[in-house]
Amino acid sequence: MQTPVAISTEYIALGQFLKLADVISTGGMAKWFLSEHEIFINGEQDQRRGRKLYPDDHVEIPGFGSFIVVEEE
């Protein structure tokens, strides 16, 4: 089951997403986290902190969970 992560903007950067999803506790941890863990976005591996995520994007982080980006209502 995927955990929904709601955003109130058109898109969110991967680094910001990690904090919003409570995967990391501060934005400064994003660079380290991305260098140490594999992240799959819509089935493709991507480690770019600035990668833009849009509603309906699927994010899989082995060991941490599966997430889906949704629009905030």
State pLDDT tens for residues 31-66. Answer: 999 999 999 999 999 999 999 999 999 999 999 999
**pLDDT tier, 27 (very low <50, low <70, confident <90, very high otherwise):** confident
3-state secondary structure of 16: helix
3-state secondary structure of 41: strand
Where is 33: in which H helix or E strand?
Answer: helix 30-36
- pTM higher than the cut 0.75: yes
Distance CA 52, CA 29 (A): 18
**Contact present, 11 and 54 (Cβ < 8 Å):** yes
- Mean pLDDT, rounded, for 6-34: 95
Q: What are phi and psi of 17, to 5 degrees?
A: -60, -45
Q: Which domains are delineated in the chain?
A: 3-71 (3.10.290.10)
**pLDDT tier, 1 (very low <50, low <70, confident <90, very high otherwise):** confident
